A and B are shown apart, each in its own frame.
Chain A
Amino acid sequence: MAVLVIAEHDNASVKDATNKVVTAAKAMGGDVDVLVAGSNAGGAAAAAAKIDGVRKVLHADGATLAKQMAEPLEALIVPLAANYDAILFPASTTGKNAAPRVAAKLDVMQVSGVIGVEGPDTFVRPIYAGNAIITVQDSQPKKVLVVQPTAFKAAGNGGSASVEMTAAPAGPFKSAFVSEEMAKSDRPELTAAKRIVSGGRALGSSEEFHKVLEPLADKLGAAVGASRAAVDAGYAPNDYQVGQTGKVVAPELYVAIGISGAIQHLAGMKDSKVIVAINKDEDAPIFQVADYGLVADYKTAVPELMEELTKAGV
């Protein structure tokens, strides 16, 4: 059996999600190769070659792959699929965008949101915002999986696989990149962060959201997240949304501030190791999943918490 993992990367290096999907691939048994598709992505290919347990890295490099759009990825991956029994994508927006295209071209029904690998053809995934967990048996000769990286431990970086070049697709394609607006931040990335401070509608304005949450996040070395209500209201960028239809996170510490705990929000964070909730409503559903709940107004609780952290040497 041979498995191809599609790397999540920014050309310079691979994201931690790649190491996690490699772990899922290894659990299926067989050889694991990694595809790095990008533009001037030598750095990422070299990084992928270091991931433990990787047999070889396929590196496709070209202008058509610069933005890893769905059409060129499909054109690249579908022919490569002939050499593999399974193709694994990370559940990033890039992976979710491309995987079904590849699956449909191969006439394969993909398994989305995989959180467990029980064997070469048995996978576990949540449905209904994580309120039910199904075990799926996939007997198709070829398999396409979209893997939830947060559910797997990252493979180490002690390997030395070979890197093999493969041609980038030429195009033309019917979609063209125009522009992008990426949030710049020195904080850790949400899906890879060990700690997250997340804010909800209670924060009331963009100004307040940043003023209250960022110092606390910086103190904890945490990423900043948000509920959908906070994003819809414009307090935080779309990229911050945690939940069923946003990002799924599983940090060691998740601090929910002024978030009620709707099922759609819980779906994105309830696998966090320790959950702290600060909410002035003692009946808020968030307290049902919180390890430590503090019934308080965030306006007084957050500054106090900052002080206490300082006292405790954090």
Chain B
Amino acid sequence: MKVLVPVKRVLDYNLKVRVKPDGSGVDLSNLKMSINPFCEIAIEEAVRMKEGGGGHAKDSATEVVAVSIGPDQAQETLRNALAIGADRGILVKADGEVEPLAVAKILKAVIEAEKPDLVILGKQAIDDDNNATAQMLAALLNWPQATFASKIVLAGSKATVTREVDGGLQTLDVDLPAIISTDLRLNEPRYASLPNIMKAKKKPIDAKTPADYGVDITPRLKVTKTAEPGKRQAGIKVKTTAELVGKLKEAGVI
């Protein structure tokens, strides 16, 4: 079974973004970029399918291919995925804004060329927080989807997936090929070892462009303004629980 994992380069989750004073966007200059945490979970799951572990038999996956759509530096994100254990990478070079719909169209074309049996994506990228790409891709391919996965069990031509939903957990069967998106509790990604980081440098990365796939990436949405969120007024420290209850009464919330 071949598994394809799209990975996105995003602002490191530890960092807080700054809005440009002129409201034209966010300032990412000189800030550390990392692999989107949900994509890291997706790669980890695919690699476990290959190596065995996390409930998967060894060789459940025969090949793991990582794909990223982004600027030249998205190579680093792919190397990161290769260091965790993906076999090879594909970089579809695109500078500037690529909306999930365009990302999904590019991924559809990559999938038609690569013919994977399973595609695992992150449920959301922590920069734009769209939570859309996996579902869009599934629709474009007419494939079934299991989003927000916290457990994946492969069984022949099906996958049984447990999903984190409002109210609890839902389990479904999807026929392969299928699209799965990861939630936080699917696994805990490993730290790549130094030898694996070195090995990853030698793994192949194919370079492509959206034009190679005939996809128009012109954004559909126009961002007219980027603003700082409204600041909360500074609060106060109370000394005792009695004082706290008094304040809550005053505020009319109890």
Binding site for B on A (CB under 8 A): 67, 69-71, 74, 92-94, 96-105, 107-113, 122, 126-140, 146, 173-183, 191, 195, 220, 228, 231-232, 237-239, 244-245, 247, 252-253, 263-264, 270, 273-276, 282, 287, 289-296, 301, 304-305, 307-309, 311-312, 314
Kindly specify which of B1-9, B166-174, B197-205, B206-214 makes contact with the partner chain.
B166-174
Give bound CA distance, A107 to B16, whole Å. 33
Give bound CA distance, A276 to B253, whole Å. 11
Give bound CA distance, A132 to B205, whole Å. 34
Kindly specify which of B42-50, B58-66, B75-83, B138-146 makes contact with the partner chain.
B138-146
Cβ–Cβ contact B138 & A305, under 8 A: no
Cβ–Cβ contact B145 & A70, under 8 A: yes
Cβ–Cβ contact A130 & B229, under 8 A: yes
Cβ–Cβ contact B172 & A177, under 8 A: yes
Cβ–Cβ contact A292 & B173, under 8 A: no
Q: Which residue of the partner chain, among B221, B238, B253, contacts A111 with CB atoms under 8 Å? A: B221
- Chain B residues numbered 7-55 whose CB sits less than 8 Å from any CB in chain A: 11, 13, 16-17, 19, 26, 38
Q: Which residue of the partner chain, among A138, A245, A252, A270, contacts B220 with CB atoms under 8 Å? A: A138
List, in ascending order, chain B residues with CB within 8 A of A245's CB.
Answer: 38, 123-124, 126, 183-184
Is B175's CB within 8 Å of the partner chain A? yes
Q: Which residue of the partner chain, among A108, A131, A137, A238, contacts B150 with CB atoms under 8 Å? A: A238
Q: What number of residue pairs across chains A and B have CB atoms under 8 A from each other? A: 269
Cβ–Cβ contact A69 & B172, under 8 A: yes
Kindly specify which of B87-95, B110-118, B128-136 makes contact with the partner chain.
B128-136
Q: A111-B221, A180-B170 are in contact. Are A132 and B226 (CB under 8 A)?
A: yes
List, in ascending order, chain A residues with CB within 8 A of B104's CB.
Answer: 104
Q: A104-B140, A132-B227 are in contact. Are A312 and B249 (CB under 8 A)?
A: yes
Give bound CA distance, A134 to B23, whole Å. 9
Q: Tally B residues with Cβ within 8 Å of A.
A: 84
Is B68's CB within 8 Å of the partner chain A? no
Interface of A is mostly: mixed
Q: A70-B147, A96-B131, A112-B132 are in contact. Are A183 and B174 (CB under 8 A)?
A: no
Cβ–Cβ contact A132 & B169, under 8 A: no
Give bound CA distance, A267 to B229, whole Å. 11
Is B109's CB within 8 Å of the partner chain A? no
Cβ–Cβ contact B146 & A175, under 8 A: yes
Cβ–Cβ contact B139 & A100, under 8 A: yes
Give bound CA distance, A176 to B172, whole Å. 6
Q: A252-B253, A293-B238 are in contact. List 17 more A-B contacts (CB 8 A).
A: A97-B135, A100-B132, A104-B104, A109-B219, A128-B126, A131-B19, A135-B226, A136-B224, A138-B222, A174-B178, A191-B166, A244-B129, A245-B123, A270-B229, A294-B237, A294-B239, A309-B245
